[in-house]
Amino acid sequence: MKSTTLLAALAMLAAAISTPLVAGDRAHDSQRDRQHATDKRTTDGFDHGMQEVPHSASPATPGHGWRYFTDPAARRAVVISPQGDYYYSRGKGLHWIAAEQT
């Protein structure tokens, strides 16, 4: 019975010690992966880092009317739907950020 208690205590101690270490590694990795882009907008509000991505979607196919922009150096992209919804991505999927104001 004492060996079971000792093993359980060691397992709890190992779990308690490893939790902050794992959290610390993750925080370090996210800081390393996150690259802060410099603001490339000029006084006229135009972001010169973004480049339009051409596509040839015909009216009968998905993607028709959508506009795609990317800034490969900053690892970011913007997608604009035909309805005027704006979607933003930093490489982990699109997130809705704004809609056309009526």
Instruction: List, for residues 44-57, the tens digit of each pLDDT value.
Output: 766 778 899 998 98
pLDDT at 20: 57
Predicted TM-score of the model (pTM)? 0.53
Give the tokens for residue 80. 């604009």
What single string gives the DSSP state of each residue in the chain? -HHHHHHHHHHHHHHHHHHHHHHHHHHHHHHHH--PPP--B-TTS-BTT-EEE-----TTSTTTT-EEEEETTTTEEEEE-TT--EEEESSS--EEEE----
- Lowest-pLDDT range, 26-30, 80-84, 94-98? 26-30
pLDDT at 13: 58
Cα 30 to chain centroid, rounded: 11
Residue 71, pLDDT > 60, answer: yes
